[in-house]
Structure 1
Amino acid sequence: MTSTSTRILCSALLTASLLGGCASTGPSSPSARPVFYPNAKLNAVGQERANQDADVCMGQARNAGLTPDEKDNAVLHGAEKGAAIGGVAGAVGALVRGKGVERAVEHGAVGAAVGGSAGAVAGAFHEKPSGTYRHYVQRCLKDKGYDVIGWN
């Protein structure tokens, strides 16, 4: 690979890493936590204790075999699609420009790396929280006297 190709590949991977981190927060992410309504139980024990009880309930959900995210492999599928599209586009582009087969392979590899990175980031934005996991945690917290009004 040429040094330009290497720089492009490194930039694509760095961008994918940074954007992937952004995709893993917020109320629709698997890392979200329960939000409590300030009822008598929360007022009596305080937010810190409520968060500890939420940790216990989330641990129980995991012990029951549940996970916070739907296991649909969105990141992997996005990376696969992106790599295939980027690889073909890079190789065909080099061939159309008359760069020869050797350069077409190089351009295809760079295209696959960039496309795979972009596809992985796109897939990360499609990760979904598990409704069953959330219902389990909410039920556990309800049994402890809390009122969960959402996830954040």
Structure 2
Amino acid sequence: MSRTFLACVVALAVAGCASTRPVLYPNERFNAVGAEAAEHDVEICMELAESAGAQPGNSSAQDAAARTAGGAAVGAASGAVGGAVVGAAGSGSAIGAASGATAGLLHWIFSKPTRSPAFENFVNQCLQERGYQPVGWD
């Protein structure tokens, strides 16, 4: 049972790590080179942005750990308060910590990754210089 749950969490975490990408308007340049070449140019522009120091976003394992730890801290504190009301602060704190950690991790898994505006602007500028028209990010 716990292995199945762990496998599901890992699969969802990997899906949550998928990065967002620019959407290109099918202008003359896009139509002339085709989707495959345009995708290659997107990759090049994203690599250039990273090499220039712009980071794609914070959808990392470090962000997941921070959200999980933050959720555990908030859950422990609120659980201790709730437990103290009924005379079981320790049990309430443990339950709250586990619930908060789970909530933090699930929030990270199902939330969209945050993009860096500098990274997005760099990639957009690079693509525009290559003749493409980026219209947004998905």
TM-score (norm 2): 0.72
Q: CA RMSD in A?
A: 3.4
Other structure's SS at 1:32 match: coil
Is the alpha carbon distance of 1:96 and 1:85 closer, same or farther for their aligned partners in structure 2, counting shifts above 3 Å? same
**Is 2:99 the partner of 1:111?**
no
The match for 2:76 among 84, 87, 93 is 87
Paired amino acid for 1:150: G
8 A contact 2:20–2:113 mirrored in 1: no
The match for 1:128 among 107, 114, 118 is 114
**Is 2:27 the partner of 1:42?**
no
CA distance, structure 2, for counterparts of residue 119 and residue 90 of structure 1: 15
Which ranges in structure 1 are unaligned for 5 or more consecutive residues?
1-6, 26-30
Question: Which structure would you say has the larger Rg?
Answer: 1
Is the alpha carbon distance of 1:128 and 1:137 closer, same or farther for their aligned partners in structure 2, counting shifts above 3 Å? same
Is the alpha carbon distance of 1:17 and 1:91 closer, same or farther for their aligned partners in structure 2, counting shifts above 3 Å? farther
Corresponding residue of 1:3? none
Paired amino acid for 2:107: A
**Is 2:127 the partner of 1:151?**
no
8 A contact 1:83–1:119 mirrored in 2: yes
What's the CA shift string for 1:61-82, capped at 9, x where partnerless? Answer: 01111111158x7645533332
What's the CA shift string for 1:107-149, capped at 9, x where partnerless? Answer: 5334312211212333563742111101100111111111111
8 A contact 1:78–1:121 mirrored in 2: no
Is the alpha carbon distance of 1:108 and 1:18 closer, same or farther for their aligned partners in structure 2, counting shifts above 3 Å? farther
Displacement of 1:16 in angstroms is: 6.2
Structure 2 matches for 1:24-63, cutoff 5 A?
24=17, 31-63=19-51
What's the CA shift string for 1:2-50, capped at 9, x where partnerless? Answer: xxxxx7xx96x7786566556556xxxxx11111111110110001100
Corresponding pairs, count: 133
Corresponding residue of 1:4? none
CA distance, structure 1, for counterparts of residue 36 and residue 50 of structure 2: 21
Corresponding residue of 1:67? 55
Is the alpha carbon distance of 1:122 and 1:34 closer, same or farther for their aligned partners in structure 2, counting shifts above 3 Å? same
